[in-house]
Amino acid sequence: MPVSSLTRYPALLALLCQLLSLLLCWLWLLALARLLGWHLSLLGAACVQGAVAALIGQRLGLSRWWLPINFGFVPGLVLLQGHALPPWLLLVGFLILLLLNWNALIERVPLYLTGSAAEQCLTRRLAALPKGFRFIDLGSGLGGTLLRLARQYPSAHFVGVETAPLTFALCWLRCLFQRNCQVRFRSFWREPLAGYDVVYCFLSPAPMSPLWDKARAEMSPGALLISNSFEVPDVEPQEILAIDDWRHSRLLIWRPVAAAQPDGHSASG
């Protein structure tokens, strides 16, 4: 399976990063020991392995929240040696990860967080819209981008939908006191898209084709569908905004439903 396909399955990609890092660090430390007689402690070697795993994960496109997991996994195992932890504690840790990233299992949509550069690019694009626009984030994650946009545009109305239980709870709490922002525990497949001026998503390649069909059927004429990084297969975006980040990401923008012209005909967009 190519690495690009593994981005749909971040847990498998994280495991690959760990295995690659273990191999590279073992070869490197073996060479240092043989050639220079230099030996690291077990914890030191584990920290080097974690740093390399985190770097590999970043380069292969893992979301930022995977980086501390990749870094701390092997050092954590070393630190836990000789400590008898209760089984329920390990179960709680597993459940927290599951509840944060539930969508990766059921919809192949991992928890991707919009980076600061992408958020700034999106903010500039929204500035061209009328003041009272309506915006929906399909998979609002931890709610940081949704909340900051709502504060930036207080006369607009913002909605986030999320189905990962713990992720939704954190997002809902963060946005609770922002008057022009709502967060709903709902799959974006069940959320009608009519009435929104902007539909924003940062999902994965898997749902983009059916999402395009949903957008074509439900979105208002002239409304914008904005995807962070992921393309709609065989559909050219009408706007492409480059993002100045290490992944060279892009905001891809479509108008799925052509706006009507004054003579009653539809614009081709």
Q: Which two tokens mark 134?
A: 């309506």
**For each of the chain's 269 residues, which pLDDT tens digit applies?**
444 444 555 667 777 888 898 898 888 888 888 887 777 788 888 888 889 988 888 887 776 666 787 888 788 777 766 565 565 555 565 565 655 565 554 555 556 667 888 899 999 999 999 999 999 999 888 899 999 999 999 999 999 998 888 888 889 999 999 999 999 998 889 999 999 999 999 988 878 999 999 999 999 999 999 999 899 999 999 999 998 776 678 999 999 997 554 444 444 44
Q: Which two tokens mark 58?
A: 């970043």
- Residue pair 253/224 in contact (Cβ under 8 Å)? The answer is yes
Cα(162)–Cα(138) distance, integer angstroms: 7
Q: CA-based Rg of the chain, rounded to a whole angstrom?
A: 22
**DSSP-derived secondary structure letter, 220:** P
User: What does the pLDDT read at residue 142?
Assistant: 85
At 248, which amino acid appears? H
- Residue pair 207/108 in contact (Cβ under 8 Å)? The answer is yes
CATH number for the domain whose boundaries are 116-254: 3.40.50.150
User: What does the pLDDT read at residue 261?
Assistant: 45
Total residue length of the chain: 269
Cα(147)–Cα(219) distance, integer angstroms: 23
Taken in order 52, 58, 61, 63, the sign of the CA dihedral is positive
Q: What is the SS3 assignment for 214?
A: helix
Helix locations, 80-115, DSSP H: 87-100, 102-106
Listed by start position, the domains of the chain span 3-84, 116-254
Angle at CA of residue 175, ends 123 and 137, nearest 5°: 50
Cα(230)–Cα(251) distance, integer angstroms: 8
At 116, which amino acid appears? S
Strand 181-185 and strand 224-228: the pairing is unpaired
User: What does the pLDDT read at residue 139?
Assistant: 87
Taken in order 27, 61, 109, 91, the sign of the CA dihedral is positive
pTM of the model: 0.65
